[in-house]
Amino acid sequence: MRDYFRPAGRSVWTAKELSTMTDWVFHWPERSLAEIDACLDRVKARGVPWSGVTAADFPLETLGNWLQGIKTEIATGRGFIVMRGLPAAKYGLDDLKRIYWGVGAHFGVPQAQSHLGDTLGSIIDLTDEQPDIFRRRGYNSGGPQTVHTDSSDIVSMLSITTAKSGGASCLTSAHAVHNLMLDHAPKLLEVLYQGFHVRGTDTDAAAGGIDLVSPYRVPVYRYTEGWLNGFFVEGYVRRTLLAGNVRLTPLEEAAMQAFIAFANHPDMMTHMLLEPGDMQFLNNRTVFHGRAAFEDHPEKPRRRHLLRLWLTVPEWPRMAPEQDYHGADVRQRWAANAEAGALKSA
C-alpha cells in the first residue's frame, strides 16, 4: 500500500464542526454597498456591458484587507465563503451581472463553461426543454445533485431567485473525505487515485475537440505541486456506463459507492440556502459541491435561478493534466467556437 499524503488544517472540516460557526459568511459593509452602486453608475454611464467589466471598474477599495483575507481563505483555508447582503431586488438582471462580474474578477479569470462559450452560466431547470441527458448539462437539470466538482479553480454562484422550497447548496471538504477513506478504506482510496473513465456531454466533447469518453482514467485525487486536488462528477462516470462504453469492476464500484457515501453523509456535508444576492465562492480543488432536493415553480421566470462563474486563478499551482478534465485548451476551444458562431450569425 502506497504512503498517501494526509492533508491537515482548515481545509479538513465536517458539517458537524461547522454547525455552530458563522464565520464563513461575510456581510457586505454599508460603505462597500455604496461603493458598488457608485461603480455600477460609472460603468453604465460609459455603456460598458457586463462582459466588459474589469476588476478596476469595481476596485472594492472599502474592503481593504478583508478582500485578501477572503481570497486566502478560499485558497488554503476552509475553501469557501459566502458574501451576503447585496440587495438583489434593487437591481435588474443586467446590473446584477455587471456587479457579479466585477466582484468575481478580483478572484480569478472567467472561463467558458460549455460548448456555448457561456462565461456566465445560468443555473436553472430546463429538463422540459432539454430532455436528452447526453446533451444536457447538470446545471440545467432539476432535482438534487450529489456533491461533485466542476472544471475550474474557483466555482462561484450568485443567487437570483430561490425555489418554491428546498434547493440548498451542499458543500463537503474533499480533504476530510480523503482522510476518511484513508482511515477506513485505504484499498478503495487507491482506486480513487487511479480514477475512472468519464464522459461529459456529446456537444461539449465535439466543440472541445476531445473524445466522447476519456481515453485515460481521470483521478479523483492527485497530489500535485504541494496541493491535494479533488475531481469527481458521478454523472460523468454514470454516462460511460449508460452508454456501454465502460464496465466497472466490483472493486471500482465499491470504491465509488464508498466515496459517494462518505462525501454525501449528513455529518460531512454542510447545507446553506443561498438567498437572493448571496455570492458563494469555493475552491473547486478542495471543496465538493452539490444541491439538496427542491420543489420549483412551474413558470420559468419564477424557477430557482443562479448565475455561475468558473474562474481560473493564475497564481495557483496547476492540476495534473490527466486530472484537469475540460482543461484550459478545451475551454478555450469552447470560447473560440462560440465567438466564431456569433461572427457567422452577425
CATH superfamily of 15-173+272-345: Clavaminate synthase-like (3.60.130.10)
Q: CB of 296 within 8 A of CB of 163?
A: yes
> Quick one: pLDDT at residue 140?
61
Cell numbers for 18: 461547522
Cell numbers for 276: 437572493
Q: In degrees rounded to 5, what are phi and psi of residue 99?
A: -65, -50
Give the separation between CA 280 and CA 284, rounded to whole angstroms: 12
Nearest to 285 by CA among 327, 229, 323: 229
Q: Which amino acid is at 149?
A: T
> Quick one: pLDDT at residue 55?
97
Does residue 21 register a pLDDT over 50? yes
Lowest mean pLDDT among 74-78, 174-178, 284-288, 300-304: 300-304
The C-alpha R_g of the chain, in whole angstroms, comes to 20
Spell out the residues 6+ positions from residue 210 whose beta carbon is closer than 8 angstroms to its own.
330
More confident residue, 251 or 136: 251
Give the separation between CA 195 and CA 192, rounded to whole angstroms: 5
> Quick one: pLDDT at residue 129?
59
> Quick one: pLDDT at residue 216?
96
pLDDT per residue as tens digits for the range 98-132 = 999 999 999 999 999 999 899 998 888 766 555 55
pLDDT per residue as tens digits for the range 291-304 = 998 877 777 777 88
> Quick one: pLDDT at residue 345?
41
Q: In degrees rounded to 5, what are phi and psi of residue 6?
A: -110, 105
Cell numbers for 289: 459541491
Query: In the predicted model, what is the mean pLDDT of residues 18-42?
Result: 96
Show me where the domains of the chain are located.
15-173+272-345
Which alpha helices (DSSP H) does 77-197 contain, by range?
93-104, 174-184, 186-194
> DSSP letter at 320?
P
pLDDT per residue as tens digits for the range 102-111 = 999 999 999 9
Give the separation between CA 73 and CA 60, rounded to whole angstroms: 18
> Quick one: pLDDT at residue 346?
41
